[in-house]
Amino acid sequence: MRIIVLLFLLLPFISNSQVNTAVAQQYKDLSYLREYIYTHAPTYAKSKKYDRLTYKFSDIAANRIVYEFNSGDIIKWDALENYLNKILKQVIPSELANDTLIHIYIKHDGNFDAEMQPSGQLFLNVGVLAEITDEATLAGLILHELAHYYKHHTLHKFLHNEVVGTDWGVFGSVKKPRDYFSQQQELEADSLASVWMEQTPYFHSGLLNYYRILQRLEQRKLLTLEDYWELKNSHIPPSKTRIAKYEANSNKIKQNDANLFVVSKTDFMGLKKQAKPLILDALLTNINKTNYDDCIERAFVFHIVEPENPLFTYYIMEAIRRKAYLDDIYWQQDFITYRYFDTLRVDNVRRKRPMGRHLLEFFDVNLLALNPTEGKDIKAHFYWNDAPRFTTYDEAYAYFFRLSQTQNCTECILSYALSYTTDIEKRDGYLNEYLLSPEAKYTLFAETLLAGNFSKNLLNKKLTLVTDFNAVIKEGNDFIRLDNAAADNLRNINYVLDSVRMNYPYRTIRMFSDIQAMYYLDFKKFTQLKKLFLLPHYVGNKNFSPHLLDPSFAELFLKYNVKEIEFIGINFLEYRKAEKTKEAYKYALKTSFYELANTTNTSQTLDFYLISINENILKTPKFIYSNRDISLNFKRNGFTQLAPRIKLEIDRKDGMMYQQTN
Ligand SMILES: [Zn+2]
């Protein structure tokens, strides 16, 4: 139970924005999506045994889709979106021809991945374009995802987990049944995609190319893992299994037409090129657990293909700087190769040891984040032909800064200035140089730094963003979340917050969805800020300041003129006995927030969390406060208890933080 509550907290549902021109309204309408998913579920899933579970699945899935569309991660880039959907049109099988919601959306994520939703939205990471070299391969990926959709795989997996549970032991405790189940589904999707691929105008081996990309990514990942020879506990079968299956069947493939491109090779090449800065931006701003490595490696490969492009020089520099700012140990590590291992045999036993050579010692395509078929595009062979220009990150950073100045890269000067964290005189020299350029993006930030202590110039105030305010009915084990986008629910939430607001003159409390509606770019930066600080990174420099990590964070603190930014999540829960029918679930969904809260003699609790990101108030920039399962007094009306309880939690957080500063 605790785990599911946590899931609610970690996946903030921000569904109450009215303005998002990016996506047609119906895709954002929770109840529309929920009914759509349920209606399209297969008949067996609506039998007495599964009916309520299938409805629950539809509800959870619809919430996720709305969450994605409101996350700021779905990007509107018409040219690319139209192009991708033209490929989709070329490959869509007749079985799915009348399915109106099937559409590809682009996600601001630099990694190679795509995710099909159970109502037909395919979220395709922009990072896919970094690896894909032709339309046929893209067609293979799309068909694989469509096959998951057609086979209702996510619903199956959900029902399987709910009914069978996720106990170990069914398969001799070697594999989690859930993983085994998922692996079966992957192979099933592969084989259906193969049948469908025959009916398209594309080279059938586009599918094989897709698996080869996955295999290469797996192998590069393995090179970074000291103790593993294959990726363990993966819910996806190893690509070599998928490739072997493909090759075993390859003599049976009937192919009518065999094109690498059908829609347009010119468009493909142009869009792939234009996507590069976006991919690097996604890798730099949404860092995952690899702490900027993916950004550095990708930017370096884009650079050796287009050495004259200053943007790639900038991303290499800035990703190195941020990585080393979080932990300065990296300055002395070998550029890129520091995290890779070599395999050797000692007495016939395989061992791995840290790679003793640096990247420019000799050309090894396995170490580059590059599809080998694009090896011919590399222009900067001089890195390997001449004496190595750099070995460590420190040397690479200095080298790329010198290069950037021959390329007139203004932002590279800011990056270089910020790399001086102790020698302030040097830093200020470069800041002054930066400000001389009419193209400088972060002038206010640079001026503030030059004027002295950044945080001293900020007002001693807080900006408090309410990212989640959910009302949830817990019926047995089912968490049924009321739609907080419904107008009357939002009104009541605001009523509670108004009452909280009055107590805090130094705190501006706002619904996050209002920021999203009014200041979309700020909303995206706030989201990145929150995401970054939620990740359990290993950070050597625990005293780092957000404004020095990312200048766009500095702009948030400056624009709102606060020393502290807080993100608050609130879940209001009412516990009820388990119900068995879909109708009961639907009935619960119809409850309004006010109706739910305005009762006595029911079992109600509150979950509260607050993430504070501060500029030099505490030694560490992050402070997390949470209090879960706070019981409300069942003799009193729940609604009147909300505001006082939220105030109490905020006061407690302020008190604990105050103690840490003294
Ligand atoms: Zn799959």
Span from the CA of 143 to the centroid of ligand 1 (angstroms): 10
CA distance 135 to 142: 10
Span from the CA of 121 to the centroid of ligand 1 (angstroms): 15
Both 619 and 593 in a single domain? yes
The predicted-structure confidence for 553-571, as pLDDT tens digits, reads as follows 999 999 999 999 999 999 9
Both 212 and 229 in a single domain? yes
| Residue 476 falls in which region: left (phi positive, over 0), alpha (psi -120 to 50) or beta | left
Q: What is the per-residue pLDDT for 236?
A: 75
Token code pair at residue 606: 């509150």
Both 236 and 156 in a single domain? yes
Span from the CA of 105 to the centroid of ligand 1 (angstroms): 17
- Residue 177: pLDDT band (50, 70, 90) is low
Span from the CA of 425 to the centroid of ligand 1 (angstroms): 54
- Residue from 559, 521, 531 nearest 622 by CA: 531
On the question of pLDDT at 535 being above 80, the answer is no
More confident residue, 264 or 233: 264
CA distance 651 to 653: 5
Residues with CB under 5 A from ligand 1 (ion): 186
CA distance 201 to 143: 13
Q: What mean pLDDT comes out for the span 522-551? A: 86
- Residue from 600, 637, 646, 636 nearest 498 by CA: 646
CA distance 2 to 63: 20
Span from the CA of 114 to the centroid of ligand 1 (angstroms): 9
CA distance 233 to 174: 10
Q: Is residue 6 part of a domain?
A: no
HSE, CB side, 13 Å, CA atoms: give it for residue 142.
30
Both 198 and 322 in a single domain? no
Domain coverage including residue 643: 458-661
Both 492 and 615 in a single domain? yes
Q: What is the per-residue pLDDT for 567?
A: 97
CA distance 152 to 43: 12
Q: What mean pLDDT comes out for the span 73-97? A: 96
Q: What is the per-residue pLDDT for 165?
A: 63
Q: What mean pLDDT comes out for the span 46-67? A: 95
Both 447 and 464 in a single domain? no
The owner of tokens 């949404």 is: 286
Picking from 452, 469, 488, the residue at the C-terminal end of a domain is 452
Q: Is residue 223 part of a domain?
A: yes
Span from the CA of 115 to the centroid of ligand 1 (angstroms): 8
H helix or E strand, kind and range, residue 343: strand 341-346
CA distance 416 to 396: 12
Token code pair at residue 83: 């192009």
- Residue from 24, 96, 32 nearest 62 by CA: 32
Span from the CA of 246 to the centroid of ligand 1 (angstroms): 15
CA distance 1 to 575: 12
Span from the CA of 116 to the centroid of ligand 1 (angstroms): 9
Span from the CA of 342 to the centroid of ligand 1 (angstroms): 30
Span from the CA of 275 to the centroid of ligand 1 (angstroms): 24
Q: Is residue 10 part of a domain?
A: no
On the question of pLDDT at 8 being above 70, the answer is no
Span from the CA of 94 to the centroid of ligand 1 (angstroms): 21
Q: Is residue 307 part of a domain?
A: yes
Token code pair at residue 390: 């750099």
Both 358 and 246 in a single domain? no
Q: What mean pLDDT comes out for the span 583-590? A: 94
Both 618 and 510 in a single domain? yes
CA distance 338 to 340: 6
Both 392 and 489 in a single domain? no
Span from the CA of 186 to the centroid of ligand 1 (angstroms): 5
Q: What mean pLDDT comes out for the span 110-136? A: 96
Mean pLDDT of the chain: 89
Span from the CA of 478 to the centroid of ligand 1 (angstroms): 27
Q: What is the per-residue pLDDT for 351?
A: 85
Span from the CA of 86 to the centroid of ligand 1 (angstroms): 22
- Residue 209: pLDDT band (50, 70, 90) is very high
- Residue 15: pLDDT band (50, 70, 90) is very low
What DSSP assignment string belongs to 214-269?
HHHHHHHHHHT-TT-SS-TT-SS--HHHHHHHHHHHGGG---S--BS-SS-HHHHH
Q: Is residue 200 part of a domain?
A: yes
Q: How far is CA 496 from CA 256, 492, 501, 593, 596, in A?
A: 64, 6, 9, 11, 14
Span from the CA of 192 to the centroid of ligand 1 (angstroms): 12
Both 90 and 166 in a single domain? yes
Q: Is residue 14 part of a domain?
A: no
The predicted-structure confidence for 95-118, as pLDDT tens digits, reads as follows 999 998 999 999 999 999 999 999
Strand locations in 462-537 (E): 462-475, 478-481, 507-511
CA distance 285 to 531: 10
Span from the CA of 144 to the centroid of ligand 1 (angstroms): 6
Number of H helices, E strands in the chain: 27, 12
On the question of pLDDT at 540 being above 90, the answer is no
Q: What is the CATH number of the domain that holds 620?
A: 3.40.50
Picking from 198, 223, 252, the residue at the C-terminal end of a domain is 252
Lowest mean pLDDT among 168-172, 608-612, 652-656: 168-172
Both 45 and 165 in a single domain? yes
Span from the CA of 138 to the centroid of ligand 1 (angstroms): 14
Q: What is the per-residue pLDDT for 170?
A: 41
Show the DSSP H helices in 40-77 as ranges.
51-69
On the question of pLDDT at 25 being above 60, the answer is no
Span from the CA of 189 to the centroid of ligand 1 (angstroms): 7
- Residue 287: pLDDT band (50, 70, 90) is confident
Q: Are strands 507-511 and 462-475 parallel, antiparallel or unpaired?
A: parallel
CA distance 383 to 307: 11
Span from the CA of 78 to the centroid of ligand 1 (angstroms): 26
Span from the CA of 111 to the centroid of ligand 1 (angstroms): 15
Domain count, the chain: 3
| Torsion over CA: 126, 128, 133, 136 (sign) | negative
**Contact indicator for 614, 505 with CB cutoff of 8 Å:** no
Both 174 and 35 in a single domain? yes
Residue 495 DSSP SS3: helix
The owner of tokens 């189940």 is: 181
Q: What is the DSSP letter of 338?
A: G
On the question of pLDDT at 12 being above 60, the answer is no
Span from the CA of 464 to the centroid of ligand 1 (angstroms): 39
In whole angstroms, how large is the CA radius of gyration of the chain? Answer: 27
Picking from 452, 482, 501, the residue at the C-terminal end of a domain is 452
**Contact indicator for 210, 144 with CB cutoff of 8 Å:** yes
Q: What is the DSSP letter of 44?
A: G
On the question of pLDDT at 6 being above 50, the answer is no
Span from the CA of 202 to the centroid of ligand 1 (angstroms): 20
Span from the CA of 141 to the centroid of ligand 1 (angstroms): 9
Q: Is residue 359 part of a domain?
A: yes
Span from the CA of 289 to the centroid of ligand 1 (angstroms): 22
Q: Is residue 438 part of a domain?
A: yes
**Contact indicator for 75, 274 with CB cutoff of 8 Å:** no
Q: What is the per-residue pLDDT for 357?
A: 86
HEC per residue, 416-433: HHHCCCCCHHHHHHHHHH
Q: What mean pLDDT comes out for the span 393-399? A: 98
More confident residue, 135 or 15: 135
- Residue 602: pLDDT band (50, 70, 90) is confident
The predicted-structure confidence for 475-527, as pLDDT tens digits, reads as follows 999 999 998 777 788 888 999 999 999 999 999 999 999 999 899 999 999 99
